[in-house]
A and B are shown apart, each in its own frame.
Chain A
Amino acid sequence: MKAVSATQRHAAVPPWRDIRVLRIVGQVVVVGVVLLVGYLLWENLTGNMTRARLTFSLDFMRATAGFDISQTVIPYSTRDTYGHAFLAGLLNTLMVSAVGIVLATVLGFVTGVARLSSNWLVNRLAAGYVEIMRNTPLLVQLVLIFALLLQLPAVANSITLPGPIYLNQRGLFLPRPLAEPTFTAWVVLVVIGVVVAIVSRRISVRRREAGLPTRAIGRIGLLAMLAIPIGGWIVLSPLQFDLPVQQRFNFVGGVVLSPSFAALLFGLVIYTAAFIGEVVRGGIQAVRRGQLEAAYAIGLTPGQTLRLIVLPQALRIIVPPLTSQYLNLTKNSSLAIAVGYSDVFAVSRTMANQTGQSVAVILLVMGTYLTLSLATSLAMNVYNRRVQVLER
């Protein structure tokens, strides 16, 4: 029998059956279809925009915005530009997301641990909370909370809490801390305290590993971390407080937490915390029972077991789904418009309405959220890698 050479065999395969040709053709066809659809949409868009006498540009960002934003992190007035308004909205989104993530994490861990509590009442309460949060829409919760906050008493009959903190329909009025010239000195003291604590902990760990008596060095360091700043506070009194003062129709001075911001923050926190609670519960339950038993067998206390055995292993499982909860919280902050808080989406909608540049504005908003999502993912991936390194 005559051997067929490689080239001959390939020549025998017609191109419409050659897998290498088919692969290239397939990809060209898919890309072609996507490009064609994209081209048709673009044609329609430009056609429709010319007909509506709109030109696609971002020039409007330099024009005067002319609308007000009720609560901003940076100074903003109606005479500022659209670009500035967008930035103010973005910072509002960032603020509510950042504060929300911190609070939701804390409440979420508490919920997760409570779900595993041996106390029947506590774990049923946590379970009920989780089910209610997960089975009702966040948007309905937000408007419900906002409606609840509007039931608060009017300014004249504010609820007074120690501080003094005032609570009424217009929001929560807190004293505003003002830095004195001695504030910088006090911060330096705090840093010194922390450094002392870290150094003494290092020494203590090293001595224990070397088999030497630790002589409570670590504990002394911890005490120093607390004592130095407290002592400094008493001596330097680095902060003054600007107290809210009741006028005829409203309070003046202090910091105001508007009902809009409070409703959005509270809603996002309690909603996300329920999901984080389930993540945490799953993570802790995934740590094998034998690990706990072994930890108790070598004489670790429950606290040490939690800190040294359970958490490091549970965190590996918790961190990836926790990341997606953080992303969800950030994206869900776009519901702010329902409670009248001016986040980046709410500001952008006003911009789109006023300028007619809907396409440019929506691209800008989507790009912003994508960047935020990517940044959060990246930060959490870095943390995730640190947690995962613990694996042996």
Chain B
Amino acid sequence: MTAERLPPPRTTIGRRAWLRRNLFSTWYNSLLTIVVGAFLLAAILLIIQWVVTGARWGVVTTNLRLFLIGQYPLEEAWRVWLALLLTSVLTGLVAGTSGGGAIRALASGLAVGQALLGVLAGLSGMGPVVSGALVVNAALVWIAFIGAVRMSISRRALAIAWLALVPVSFVLLQGISRPLLAVVPTNLWGGLLLTFLLAIAGIVLSFPFGVLLALGRRSDLPAVRLLSTLYIEIVRGVPLVTILFTAAILLPLFLPAGLRIEHVFRAVVGITLFSAAYVAENVRGGLQAIPTGQIEAASAIGLNAYQRNVYIVLPQALRSVIPANVGLFISLLKDTTLVAIAGTGLLELLGIGRAVVAQPSWIGAQLEVYVFISALFFFLCYTMSQASYRLEAAMGVGKR
């Protein structure tokens, strides 16, 4: 005899049951749903209405070039797209080779972001070359990804290429000398380009300093420990604006007379000094997570303090703080906006926004500009934070 197979009861699965369970489980939940839903609907309608009919998006499309690269000369802008192309290909290759979820999220973010910007550039009349370059870059991420999946690429070569990417891009953007690559002075860099330059330079330069500070804070030499702790706590106790202000206004006073230092580098110095303290605290967390047994074992086989740190402690500690440092990079990227108010005279994304708003032809278009900047930041930071979550999850699984 076979039992008759009954359909599942209506009240526990299906769309209606889902509605009941998640939105209308009790009378006050129903009330909450209705009130919140009505409020949300009104807000969304209002926003859509503004975006579609109220806003003057011309302020963004006319000035898109300023938002992306600032005053960087247009005839040299190909270098920016070339640097982006290198980044796209490498990211695609790494995503195809390592296959980690985090790097894949970053790669698709890079592809989608460039494709969107390409379309936007096409709409704003930046010329077919610019939008074409951006769309090609986006496609290259995918092509490199698929290529890397098909073929096997040496991981070592990729790692070296990645390490070389930052200095190579910098030289490419900055230029060497007239006949080869004309120098583009850093004071012409602006917009998104400068935002990235500041954040990347900040994290790359502050990393070694931060690691030293973290080791110093955990050192058993009292003087070293005291100095490191003092530095970290003082920097973490004051706002970034005051440090940037100091770097912008006071740095020349601390340097030998006659030595001129460009504003971009002043800001980089300020950001580096600031983020080193935060890197140090992240790394300290990683150091503390290393079991004492590892250090004792290293001492037992006769390694000295330097060897213990370089071969045993740091490789494990630094690996475990990658997600925390991605988080730090995200907040650094957001914090670069502070150079706009610290008297540095630099025009990164927000600085450009403020300059655009001050143009006589776009008086009163503040909302449009700031909403656009927020959207750019949201896209960048959200992509990176999703990647960081995946990385954290993946590393949590492999935890010993």
Q: Mark B360-375, 1 if CB is under 8 A from A, else 0.
A: 0000001100110110
Q: Which of A120, A136, A140 contacts B22 (CB 8 A)?
A: A120
Q: Report whether B23 and A132 are in contact in the complex, using a CB–CB cutoff of 8 Å.
A: no
* Cα A327 to Cα B278 with chains together (Å): 14
Q: How far is the CB of B33 from chain A (nearest CB, A)?
A: 5
Q: Report whether B245 and A369 are in contact in the complex, using a CB–CB cutoff of 8 Å.
A: no
> Chain B interface residue count: which class?
35 or more
Q: Report whether A27 and B377 are in contact in the complex, using a CB–CB cutoff of 8 Å.
A: no
Q: How far is the CB of B350 from chain A (nearest CB, A)?
A: 6
Q: Is B51 an interface residue (CB 8 A)?
A: no
Q: Report whether A143 and B257 are in contact in the complex, using a CB–CB cutoff of 8 Å.
A: no
Q: Is B193 an interface residue (CB 8 A)?
A: no
Q: Which of A44, A132, A147 contacts B254 (CB 8 A)?
A: A44
Q: Report whether B23 and A331 are in contact in the complex, using a CB–CB cutoff of 8 Å.
A: no
Closest B residue to A48 by CB, please name it: B253
* Cα A134 to Cα B334 with chains together (Å): 10
Q: Report whether A119 and B33 are in contact in the complex, using a CB–CB cutoff of 8 Å.
A: yes
* Cα A1 to Cα B29 with chains together (Å): 88
Q: Report whether A337 and B242 are in contact in the complex, using a CB–CB cutoff of 8 Å.
A: no
Q: Is A23 an interface residue (CB 8 A)?
A: yes
Q: Which of A47, A136, A148 contacts B377 (CB 8 A)?
A: A136
* Cα A191 to Cα B29 with chains together (Å): 38
Q: Report whether B381 and A31 are in contact in the complex, using a CB–CB cutoff of 8 Å.
A: no
* Cα A148 to Cα B23 with chains together (Å): 33
- Chain B positions within 8 Å of A366 at CB level: 234, 238, 242, 246
- Chain B positions within 8 Å of A34 at CB level: 227
Q: Report whether A140 and B253 are in contact in the complex, using a CB–CB cutoff of 8 Å.
A: no
* Cα A118 to Cα B30 with chains together (Å): 12
Closest A residue to B249 by CB, please name it: A358
- Chain B positions within 8 Å of A338 at CB level: 340-341
* Cα A358 to Cα B252 with chains together (Å): 12
* Cα A345 to Cα B343 with chains together (Å): 12
- Chain A positions within 8 Å of B240 at CB level: 331
* Cα A125 to Cα B22 with chains together (Å): 14
- Chain A positions within 8 Å of B33 at CB level: 119, 121-122
Given contacts A26-B224, A137-B377, A334-B239, contact A118 B22 (CB under 8 A): yes
* Cα A373 to Cα B234 with chains together (Å): 10
Q: Report whether A137 and B254 are in contact in the complex, using a CB–CB cutoff of 8 Å.
A: no
Q: Report whether A144 and B238 are in contact in the complex, using a CB–CB cutoff of 8 Å.
A: no
Q: Is A99 an interface residue (CB 8 A)?
A: no
- Chain A positions within 8 Å of B382 at CB level: 131, 135
Q: Which of B227, B234, B354, B381 contacts A370 (CB 8 A)?
A: B234
- Chain A positions within 8 Å of B40 at CB level: 121, 125
Question: What are 25 pairs between A and B in contact, CB < 8 Å?
Answer: A30-B221, A31-B227, A34-B227, A44-B253, A44-B256, A121-B36, A132-B378, A135-B378, A136-B374, A136-B381, A137-B335, A138-B334, A140-B350, A140-B353, A143-B366, A144-B371, A148-B367, A331-B239, A335-B338, A337-B241, A345-B239, A345-B241, A349-B245, A362-B242, A370-B237
Excluding A147-B366, A373-B237, 15 further A-B contacts by CB distance (< 8 Å) are A27-B223, A30-B224, A41-B254, A44-B255, A48-B252, A119-B23, A119-B29, A119-B32, A119-B36, A143-B350, A144-B370, A147-B370, A334-B241, A345-B242, A349-B245
